[in-house]
Amino acid sequence: MAVAGQLTGKMAMHEMRGEMRVNEPMSKHTSWRAGGYAERYYIPADLADFACFLQRLPADEPVHVIGLGSNLLIRDGGLRGTVVAIHAQLNDLRWLEQNDLGGLIYAGAGVACAKVARFAAKRDLAGAEFLAGIPGTVGGALAMNAGCFGSETWKIVERVQVVNHGGDVLVRQPEEYKIGYRSVKLQPISINIAESEWFAGGYFRLLRGNQAESRQKIKQLLARRIDSQPLHQPNAGSVFRNPPGDYAARLIEACSLKGCCIGGAMVSPKHANFIVNTGDASATDIEALILLVQDRVMKETGIELIQEVRIIGDAGRCSS
């Protein structure tokens, strides 16, 4: 049954209301400012348009859904198929419920995480403050269980809305997923069709709080980000997951890799788990540096660093 802020079912076919681009340079749409071209790049008008657009695609069409392009590396050979850009498009942000214990808000997948944190704080709801420290959108945060400073996205999720390759809009519960550290996978029991699906939005259950206290916490979190992360240079956030009982940054620094460069890509001297684009890095440079760091840490410590960033696309240079 649909509720406020919720759209379900298969959308009726209509003329596309979004914007289609061809041979779009993805370096314009990723926080690393590097990467090749997308064959097709679609900006949907809203969720209904997104769903109807997916209905029109061939079943075997590769689809890549992106938000702010953080936590993402697109190889220099570019992307076959269609990129769907949802940032600022799936942008519904609503306060649905309020009671003595707290409230429920809905945020579309294209809403910036920091905006959700501020929205909740303004309404005296606590528990979403940490989202201010995540440089991405709700869709990406749901897909990877993004977190920072001790909190994780799925700890506040009540349910989610998804859209699949066939254009069906569905609601799923947290128990339908296997949720771990920077990992969210649909349980096999929940898969009833052989289709990909993407998060369209999330319902977040939050506790009663205090606006002033939440704003102060957000301010402190942002100050910690500024102090510890290289925000003045293009980057994709943390490159590697923290191994159990340790920190990726500590291991990388212990291997004397701070400041290590390949082409225009550099392990940040400010935070070793960040790789920055110093100005002219290619995606090939960045990926090569990721592999170098993994190899060195494995050889010197015996610990395997697992990538947190997603790497997609074809190797090699791609022209427009």
238 catalytic per annotation: yes
Q: Which of 24, 197, 287, 308 is catalytic?
A: 308
What is the C-alpha separation between 221 and 5, in angstroms, rounded? 29
Query: Which letter, b or e, does each residue of 213-228 get, where b requires 16 or more Cβ atoms within 10 Å of its Cβ?
Result: ebbebbeebeeebeee
Q: Which of 27, 31, 70, 238 is catalytic?
A: 238
225 catalytic per annotation: no
Q: Which of 159, 182, 268, 287 is catalytic?
A: 182
CB 96 within 8 A of CB 3: yes
Just list the catalytic residues: 182, 238, 308
